[in-house]
Chains A and B, each alone.
Chain A
């Protein structure tokens, strides 16, 4: 099975699960995730917080049972999503987000190992993005929208190349892999890194990720994106998010 091109455009569909308050299916760079959002609903006694809502994130792998890796991803997602959801509006309530991983890009050079379903670090942007889309679909009040992307530093021919949306092969040989998320106000929401890297490298990765997540839509003609020689320009996440939501709103309000 050929792994899809890493720079293929992301795709999203909203409202795919008819029984959830909000849902989204998102696929990009070989990852497909379906998310459901329910809430605000009543929280259990043990999770009840008298001042704000409790955001519960559950990550389910496609095959095998979830392990420590999934819990780790859940806690990262929970803290970043709690920042953009207006949790102070719903004390003692629960916002439940379930992320079901459906597809991950296959590495044809390795046979998959099941029992230790160690999740690829690079699935985090897909998980994050699907969660944000599902929250928008559910109409859960938020402070801002957000976009995430993965960047890897891959040694190629002796030179370190920055790759946006790395393939599994890239990740295997990468020196470091980073996941960053930015809000629509340009603030850094999430930054997780694995591997060896210098602070200077991280600064460069920060700039690359910010460009991917926070492109402003080109307003004037003739203003072209200058392709950095080192970094391959990834998809424009912010524009993608906006156009997806615009079609959803237009469909909802078809009657106006």
Chain B
């Protein structure tokens, strides 16, 4: 496998030196995210997120299948993240690297375990048929902070997605095709976002948000906080690295809440914009059963 390139000593020393003087290479503030852009595809459930030079595409899809035997009343929800050489030639298919495993685990904990998507609502016939919702995350370009971008893309894709409408008549399940009946949105409970802090310096005293690839290579520790706009924390992950002062960590989570609210407002705005674009004379607004939480 071609080795991942390491930045030169000059680069490492310089970035650290600049951070100690409160300077970032691209002129951002310490707690400033790169310009975040979200575009929805023509099909429902496709979200393309650009965070500076990092680009992530998430696609949500659903099909009818048999539920797990130990959970007959729940639907199936999976998030698949497979990094390909498109992300960077250092990544190989079918050989998960640490980055990939961490990304997949964090998305699991943030979106699945926090019950952002109500899996009970995916059940069609208890024990026999249920919806299996699947989100595929494709990282098209990697310039740092995959976790935040990927989480945002997953949440956006799921909120944008529409599954085919179904009806139950006398024990017979009918699944309508998009041509027969307009698809319906998923039952969404809350929108979690990941905010990743990176720490630098011997005591991890310098903290910043949204590290670029170069900054990620130099950081001594990182902490990902997942929370929604109500301040409900889904998980906090600081996996090893230099110990960081506890008070600093509390301050970081405070800022994280502000960022989560910003993300939430942005996402809501984009979804509304998209609905308006697709709306044909206000009909869709009447039919919408989306939970306004």
* Interface residues, chain A, with chain B CB atoms under 8 Å away: 1, 17-20, 34, 36, 38, 41-42, 44, 56, 58, 60, 62-65, 96, 98, 100, 102-103, 106, 108-115
Give Cα distance in the complex from A64 to B2, angstroms: 27
* In-complex Cβ contact of A111 among B42, B55, B93, B175 (8 A): B175
Contact A19 B141 (CB under 8 A): yes
Question: How many cross-chain pairs have Cβ atoms below 8 Å apart between A and B?
Answer: 92
Closest Cβ of chain B: how far from A239's Cβ, in Å? 26
Contact A38 B178 (CB under 8 A): no
Question: Which A residues touch B141, using CB under 8 A?
Answer: 17-20
Interface SS of A by simple majority: loop
Contact B178 A102 (CB under 8 A): no
| A100/B63 contact (C-beta < 8 A), A17-B55, A19-B142 known | no
Give Cα distance in the complex from A65 to B134, angstroms: 11
A37 — nearest CB in chain B belongs to which residue? B86
A4 — nearest CB in chain B belongs to which residue? B42
B108 located at the interface, meaning its Cβ lies under 8 Å from any Cβ of chain A in the complex: no
Contact A58 B93 (CB under 8 A): yes
B151 located at the interface, meaning its Cβ lies under 8 Å from any Cβ of chain A in the complex: no
Give Cα distance in the complex from A113 to B164, angstroms: 12
* In-complex Cβ contact of B177 among A36, A60, A111 (8 A): A111
Question: Which A residues touch B42, using CB under 8 A?
Answer: 1, 103
Contact B43 A106 (CB under 8 A): yes
| A36/B43 contact (C-beta < 8 A), A42-B2, A108-B179 known | no
Question: Which B residues touch A19, using CB under 8 A?
Answer: 53, 88, 141-143
Contact A106 B178 (CB under 8 A): yes
Closest Cβ of chain B: how far from A48's Cβ, in Å? 12
Contact B140 A38 (CB under 8 A): no
Contact with A along B1-27 (1 / 0, CB 8 A): 110000000000000000000000000
| A18/B85 contact (C-beta < 8 A), A63-B59, A64-B136, A100-B140 known | no
Question: Which A residues touch B228, using CB under 8 A?
Answer: none
> What are some 19 contacts across the A-B interface (CB < 8 A)?
A1-B178, A17-B86, A18-B141, A18-B143, A20-B141, A36-B85, A38-B89, A41-B89, A44-B2, A58-B86, A60-B82, A64-B134, A96-B89, A98-B85, A100-B86, A100-B140, A108-B178, A111-B164, A111-B178
